[in-house]
């Protein structure tokens, strides 16, 4: 399937932040490698076999000496990919929530409409097994992001995003934790670069729900973002 | 002297002395912080030793009781300290992140992964 995207595959770097994903990352890498050959896995200080599993595949492996958070891992991956001459960068979760087929769709949209960012939206696409509480939390997150950044989105916290090198260079994420999702929207807003959303599929399984953010934690994230905004 | 004064006057006095030593031994921002600490501790010695003084002072600010005035000042100092600490921890975290990131990028490894025909993939 790498052939399907031909030369474009060499211009696209997939950035995968991974923390304790030993049981899930194997399938993700195997599926992505069918279509894409520039993959960067950032092992964010995992205490399990994530790095060893990733090393079984032809990917670039970067290891954080300690767990910093998903935002920090994404920024590390972006900096590495840009230094290697990436033209397009896609962020992709390591837990198997995303459909690898969506990567091509986001990139097609990015190119066709001359955008710098295409953000995946599960509410424009499809979800499998999403609990009601998660849906409500995400909706509140969208509202919060809209108030904070003034950007109207349907899904502000989706890990699947495609961006140009120019767009990626403007991000410069400083929020190490899950707050980075709102920070990305904020940076896109201030950069003035063109962006759009595109429907993607997000699959929820008992494992991904166990690993994912608790709804209650969203309040903590919102508080931290507000404090950062006030003190910056 | 009551029990409160017996406990807190020496406590504030020792803090003031330690702060003064730090003022003399350090420079820049640390010296400024030590000076503020010393002044605060000296203020504590005076206010605890002469309780009437805080009441007189509080009336200048339109606050009836000296104890209330001390609480308000204390809360303001604690709030300032929390903000200062928060920003300092933030700066340290940023430095740590940069260090770990640089290290990770410098030590990035290409995994052959045993996959056949993928050597051309190595960027």
pLDDT at A231 over 60: yes
Residue A91 in 3-state DSSP?
A: strand
Residues of A in contact with B88 (CB under 8 A): none
Distance CA A189, CA A178 (A): 18
> Rounded CA gap, B102 and B105, in Å?
5
Domain count, chain A: 1
Domain-embedded: residue B84: yes
Note whether B101 contacts A59, CB cutoff 8 Å. no
Residue B26 domain boundaries: 3-108
What's the CATH number where A33 sits?
Answer: 3.90.550.10
Name the pLDDT band for A46 (thresholds 50, 70, 90): very high
CA distance A201 to A128: 8
Spatial separation of the C-alpha atoms in residues A117 and A111, rounded to whole Å: 10
- Which residue range forms the structural domain that includes residue A91? 2-231
ipTM of the shown complex: 0.85
Residue A74 dihedral angles phi and psi, to the nearest 5°: -65, -45
B chain contacts of residue A55, beta-carbon cutoff 8 Å: 109, 111, 113
A215 or B39, greater pLDDT: B39
| Domain assignment present for B118 | no
| Residue B121 lies inside a defined structural domain of this protein | no
pLDDT attached to residue A3: 44
Is residue B123 situated within a structural domain?
no
For the segment A112-136, the average pLDDT, to the nearest whole number, is 90
Half-sphere exposure at residue B50, Cβ-oriented, CA atoms within 13 angstroms: 7
| Cα separation values, B92 from A223, B31, B87, B105, Å | 20, 20, 9, 20
Domain count, chain B: 1
In a domain, B53, yes or no: yes
pLDDT tens for each residue of B59-94: 888 988 888 888 998 899 899 889 989 999 999 999
**Rounded-to-10 torsion of CA A145, A168, A211, A129:** 70
Give ∠ CA A123-A125-A131 in degrees, rounded to 5. Answer: 50
Span A52-106, pLDDT tens digits: 999 999 999 999 999 999 999 999 999 999 999 999 999 999 999 999 999 999 9
pLDDT, mean of residues B98-102: 97
Closest CA to A181 of A73, A105, A56, A67: A73
- Best B103, B104, B106 member to test A by mutation, with max A CBs in 10 Å, is B104
Which residue, among A79, A221, A20, A174, has the nearest Cα to B97 in the 3D structure? A174
Average pLDDT value over all residues in chain B: 88
- Say whether A42 and B104 touch across the interface (CB within 8 A): yes
Would you say residue B87 lies in a domain?
yes
Contact B86 A54 (CB under 8 A): no
CA–CA dist A133, A62 (Å, integer): 34
């Amino acid at each position: 399937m790498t052939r399907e995207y031909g030369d474009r595959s060499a211009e696209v770097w997939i950035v995968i932040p991974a923390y304790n994903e030993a049981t899930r990352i194997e399938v993700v890498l195997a599926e992505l490698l069918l279509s894409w050959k520039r993959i960067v896995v950032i092992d964010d200080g995992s205490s399990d076999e994530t790095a060893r599993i990733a090393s079984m595949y032809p990917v670039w492996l970067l290891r954080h000496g300690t767990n910093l958070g998903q935002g920090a891992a994404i920024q590390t991956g972006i900096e590495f990919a840009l230094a290697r001459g990436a033209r397009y960068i896609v962020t992709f979760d390591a837990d198997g929530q995303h459909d690898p087929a969506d990567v091509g769709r986001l990139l097609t949209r990015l190119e066709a409409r001359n955008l710098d960012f295409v953000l995946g939206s599960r509410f424009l696409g499809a979800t499998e097994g999403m609990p009601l509480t998660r849906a409500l939390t995400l909706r509140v997150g969208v509202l919060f992001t809209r108030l904070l950044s003034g950007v109207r989105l349907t899904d502000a916290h989706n890990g699947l995003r495609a961006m140009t090198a120019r767009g990626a260079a403007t991000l410069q994420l400083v929020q190490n934790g899950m707050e980075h999702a709102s920070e990305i929207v904020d940076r896109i807003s201030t950069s003035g670069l063109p962006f759009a959303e595109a429907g993607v599929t997000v699959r929820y399984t008992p494992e991904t729900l166990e690993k994912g953010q608790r709804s209650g934690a969203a309040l903590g994230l919102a508080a931290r973002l507000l404090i950062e905004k006030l003190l910056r | 002297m009551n029990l409160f004064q017996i406990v807190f006057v020496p406590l504030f006095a020792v803090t003031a002395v330690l702060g003064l030593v730090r003022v003399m031994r350090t420079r820049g921002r640390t010296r400024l912080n030590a000076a503020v600490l010393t002044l605060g501790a000296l203020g504590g010695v005076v206010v605890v030793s002469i309780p009437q003084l805080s009441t007189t002072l509080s009336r200048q600010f339109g606050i009836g009781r000296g104890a209330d005035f001390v609480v308000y000042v204390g809360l303001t100092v604690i709030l300032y300290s929390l903000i200062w600490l928060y920003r300092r921890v933030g700066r340290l975290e940023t430095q740590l992140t940069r260090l770990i990131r640089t290290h990770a990028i410098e030590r990035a490894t290409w995994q052959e992964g045993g996959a056949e025909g993928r050597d051309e993939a190595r960027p």
